[in-house]
Amino acid sequence: MELAAENIAAEVSGMTPCIMVVEDDDSTRATLKQALKPLGRVVDFGNPQDALSYLDGHGCVDAIITDMMKEMHGVEFCTQVRERFNRDFLPILIYSSFNDPQLEKPAFDAGANDFIEKPISFFRLQMRIQVHLQNKSLYDQLQETAQRDGLSQLFNRHAFLEHAAAEFKRATRMG
C-alpha cells in the first residue's frame, strides 16, 4: 500500500509533493508525519508561528494539515495563511478532537478545504490528502497553461501583473 501511494503521489505532481503538518502535540505530530510520508516530503511544526515563518521563507508547500491547537486555533492559522499568501489553490485540512459540528463551519469559512474529526483513520487521511494533492496538481497545470504563451513559453500580461502584485505584497510583508 505504501509503495502504491508513493508512486501515485509522485506521478500526480511530476515531483515529490511537500505536505506541512502543524500540530502542537509531539507524539501526534510524529504519527502524522509517519502516516503521510508515503505521499511525499513532510515538514512538521509544533508551533503555528514557525509554520508561518517557513511559508514566508520557502512557500513550497502543496498541502497543509493542522490541528485545533492551544496556542493558535487551527481556524486562525488557516485564516492567516489565506490572508498572508497569494495561493490560489493550497489545500488546507483541519482536524479536531472536539466532537462539535459547530467547528466545521468556521473552519470552512476561514478557507479550509477539508475537516476531519479525531480519531483519524490514517488510511482515510492518506486518501483525502492524496485527492487534494491530485486536485492541486491539476490546478497548477491549468494555471501554467493559462499563464504562458504556447509558442514562446513567456508569461502573458495577466500572469505578469499577477506575479508583480504577489511580489509587492511579499515585499510589503517582509519590510
Q: What is the pLDDT of residues 76-106, one digit of tens each?
A: 899 889 888 766 689 999 988 766 677 788 8
Note the pTM of the prediction, 2 decimals.
Answer: 0.76
Query: Is the domain defined by 2-138 classed in CATH 3.90.1310.10?
Result: no
The DSSP secondary-structure symbol of 144 reads H
Q: What is the pLDDT of residues 3-17, one digit of tens each?
A: 344 444 444 445 789
Q: Is the pLDDT of residue 1 over 60?
A: no
Mean pLDDT of 127-147: 90
Question: 18 pairs with which residues across the strands?
Answer: 41
User: Residue ranges per domain, the chain?
Assistant: 2-138
Q: What is the pLDDT of residues 34-75, one digit of tens each?
A: 999 999 999 999 989 999 999 888 768 999 999 876 656 788
> Rounded CA gap, 29 and 148, in Å?
39
> Rounded CA gap, 3 and 77, in Å?
32
